[in-house]
Amino acid sequence: MNNFEYANPVKIVFGKGQIQRLPELIPAGAKILMTYGGGSIKKNGVYDQVVKALENFDVVEFGGIEPNPQYSTLMKAVEIVKNQSIDFLLSVGGGSTLDGTKFIAAASKYQGEDPWDILAKGAPITDALPLADVITLPATGSEMNCLAVVSKKETTEKLAFGSPYVFPKFSIIDPTVTFSLPPRQVANGIVDTFIHVVEQYVTQPQHATLQDRQAEAIMLALVEEAPKLKENPNDYDVRANLFWMATQALNGWLNVGVLQCWATHNIGHELTAQLGVDHGQSLALVLPGVWKSQRKEKGDKIRQLGRRVFGINEPDPEKAVDLTIEATKNFFRSVGIDASREAYGVTDQVIKNIADLIDSRGVKFGDRANIDGAKIIEILNLCD
Amino acid sequence: MNNFEYANPVKIVFGKGQIQRLPELIPAGAKILMTYGGGSIKKNGVYDQVVKALENFDVVEFGGIEPNPQYSTLMKAVEIVKNQSIDFLLSVGGGSTLDGTKFIAAASKYQGEDPWDILAKGAPITDALPLADVITLPATGSEMNCLAVVSKKETTEKLAFGSPYVFPKFSIIDPTVTFSLPPRQVANGIVDTFIHVVEQYVTQPQHATLQDRQAEAIMLALVEEAPKLKENPNDYDVRANLFWMATQALNGWLNVGVLQCWATHNIGHELTAQLGVDHGQSLALVLPGVWKSQRKEKGDKIRQLGRRVFGINEPDPEKAVDLTIEATKNFFRSVGIDASREAYGVTDQVIKNIADLIDSRGVKFGDRANIDGAKIIEILNLCD
């Protein structure tokens, strides 16, 4: 096991009716910028609940943060923060709104010339506005980590940053708000959760027995609970379980002391940047290609996943890998995501563009840092 | 799933050589009280490492904190804190030293008349000295929680308290320091870890799929790793895995949103208070009795544990419970703990004393609060 540090101070406030506790959770007298997305919170009652809870606070609203939050949009919020002396950010929405709000928090206190450098050059963050959230979509786990992904349409870039300064002070998770989510978003979130676990698990055997079992715990629970949604989408416990899984899949807990391979996310982000493919769907498309291409390097962990999560007891090692890939795709299909290169418009030209872009950045993906442009072409050609 | 809050700010600094990072982790200029136990840290080199790392700090030493730390000892440390203007506590040792140090931290800032009230009456804690630790024994999980247990020999009491103010600021876990531990302490720690998980898991089915799987993850990893110690006690990864399991078994993660049953600990504490039985051994003795006595209430979860952790696929429900109890006792035996009423001196008179004591306090144990003095007699008579 490698040496590691782990610290995650986020206070999780989980359950029915927790939104009304906002006044006790936010510092008294705070001047709040309330950020949100395209307005779904106005349809499902969350907006009204939050506004009512904040009636004794000074609140400025900033709506319109897009899925895959755009740098230009977020910089408008940074202007408001500065002009109106905002001292607390409250994100009300899904992972995109929260990721965007984390960037607003960091950019508002950024001392350098161009806040885009936080994403493009990993410019150091030395301070940020305090932020918190009411999270409405189980998917990204952003509610319990210090990571964010921001996009720039003009340059088809989608880049990540992380800093302990952007941990939410608290995250309110009320599973009842997910009852009204569109099935496509729910399905995307389930796939995102599964693949967050995979990217911290399907690497190389490292004698990290507990981390392995904990990753499998989330996948086993996901495979058990997700199918129940069809029968009874308003089952509170099913929704609560699924939300808690999403939160834990990316709170830093699974990857302590072990290698990680974020190749599926790295390549998926490029598909979203180029073609606007939903994040979850881009992942569902790419993962089987990564596994097929890396079947030698990742075979041991793929087989362990197949055996322990899907109960595959195939003695032939190559067949066991194939069966695990098929079981994983079937799981994605069972929740409603049947990923397809053709449907998403992933042409040979798009693939070449992505490969060239990655090579031009000089980065290589994966826990062995062996996935370059040529490998990306191989991977995407191995996808359905 | 029940509503819950979770917040755990402890910074874990895990791995080889981490003790030398103390100077960057402790606030500059702190006046430190370094607490430790009976002196084993002077034999295994930990004391020298810590003293060297702290050479530029003003350090007062306080050794001699006992296993099952005694109130009278700890109050001597509180005097030193007050007389010498100590502003940071560093615990160097196992869970007893750390629990004791948590009590010193709270008692040093306690405004009421008698700090024993923190334990006996749950008197509220509104402040505490900052504390941190170098933890040397995988067992109690004290390094990542805000709980502590303190004893009073004079009145044969062993009582617990908890407060967010006594979360360690950081915990250094260097698994190499466990190479020199006596086998008995290692075995006690493994049993303690297992039973911490059990007390948060063997209650009633509650449709908390993820919490169940996460509890099973620790038990599965424990059952896989613990036997490896015999073959190779100096295998770093085995030691690292076991330590990380102990930390996670009681960091609050497993019990969010679910019931808990601490009956085995509650009764075990009384055996330790009355007879001085090692904590781990008291638990190994009591657990089978609790399960036998509560086989109706806890049967579903006992069977689930048997099936998923020990691979018991017995269709008869009563036999499945019996087989799970036997497998659990065999696991304890395999790590070197063969608990016995006779060997520990648990006579009929001792049992009666404990039952009377619990009834006199007016408390009932268990997730159904149905374990009173009479049930305790039944439970202890069902133990080996």
- Residues in B touching A10 (Cβ below 8 Å): 7
The pLDDT, as a whole number, for residue B254 is 97
Residue B39 has pLDDT above 90, yes or no: no
Task: Determine whether the interchain pair A5/B16 forms a contact, defined as Cβ–Cβ distance below 8 Å.
Answer: no
Q: Which strand (E) or helix (H) includes residue B303?
A: helix B295-310
Q: Are A283 and A192 in contact (CB under 8 A)?
A: yes
- pLDDT score for B341: 96
The pLDDT value recorded for residue A230 is 87
Task: Kindly indicate the confidence band of residue A30, based on its pLDDT and cuts at 50, 70 and 90.
Answer: very high
How far from chain centre, in Å, is Cα A230? 23
* Average of per-residue pLDDT across B228-248: 96
Flag whether pLDDT at A95 surpasses 90: yes
The Cβ of residue A284 has, within 10 Å, a number of other Cβ atoms equal to: 32
Q: Which residue of B2, B20, B24, B213 is the best one to mutate when testing the A interface, meaning the one whose CB has the most A CBs within 10 A?
A: B213
pLDDT above 90: residue B231: no
CA distance B249 to chain A (A): 11
- Cut 0.90: pTM above it: yes
pLDDT at B158: 87
Q: In the predicted model, is pLDDT for residue B237 greater than 90? A: yes
Cβ neighbours, 10 Å, residue A24:
9
How many other CB atoms are there within 10 angstroms of residue B295's CB atom? 17
Chain A hits for B214, CB-CB cut-off 8 Å, are: 214, 217
CB B250 within 8 A of CB B8: no
Give the chain A residue whose CA is nearest to the CA of B249.
Answer: A210
**A190-242 pLDDT, tens per residue?**
999 999 999 999 999 999 999 999 999 999 999 999 999 988 899 999 999 99
Q: Which amino acid is at B260?
A: Q
Spell out which residues of chain B touch residue A257, defining contact as CB-CB under 8 Å: 14-15, 240, 244
- Looking at chain B, the whole-number percentage of residues with pLDDT higher than 90 is 97
Looking at residue A105, what is its pLDDT?
98
B217 and A221 within 8 Å at the Cβ level: the answer is: no
Taking residues B329-338, report their average pLDDT: 97
Model confidence at A50: pLDDT above 90: yes
- Residue/partner pairs of A100-103 with CB below 8 Å, 24 or more apart: A100/A35, A100/A65, A100/A69, A100/A73, A100/A74, A100/A148, A100/A150, A101/A35, A101/A65, A101/A131, A101/A133, A102/A128, A102/A131, A102/A142, A102/A146, A102/A147, A102/A148, A102/A166, A103/A69, A103/A71, A103/A74, A103/A148, A103/A150, A103/A161
Mean pLDDT along residues B165-177: 98
Handedness of CA B288, B290, B292, B297 (dihedral sign): negative
Q: How far apart are CA B271 and CA A383, in angstroms?
A: 62
Indicate whether A156 pLDDT > 90.
no
pLDDT at A158 over 90: no
Structure confidence at residue A39 (pLDDT): 86
Query: Given this model, what pLDDT does residue A323 score?
Result: 98
Taking CB atoms and an 8 Å cutoff, what residues of chain A touch B216? 213, 217
Query: Taking all residues of chain A, what is their mean pLDDT, rounded to a whole number?
Result: 97
**Cβ within 8 Å of A, B 194-233:** 207-210, 212-214, 216-218, 220-221, 224-225
Q: What is the pLDDT of residue B316?
A: 98
Tell which residue, A204, A253, A300, has the closest CA to residue B244: A253
Mean of all residue pLDDT scores within chain B: 96
Distance from CA of A142 to the nearest CA of B (A): 16
pLDDT at residue A137 is higher than 90? yes
Q: What is the mean pLDDT of residues A314-340?
A: 97
Nearest by CB to residue A9, choosing from B9, B244, B245, is B9
Q: For A340-356, write each residue's pLDDT tens digit.
A: 999 999 999 999 999 99
Averaged pLDDT for residues B38-65: 96
What ipTM is given for this predicted complex?
0.96
Q: Torsion-angle region of residue A336: left (phi > 0), alpha (psi -120 to 50) or beta?
A: left
Residues 137-176 of chain B whose Cβ lies under 8 A from any Cβ of chain A = 170
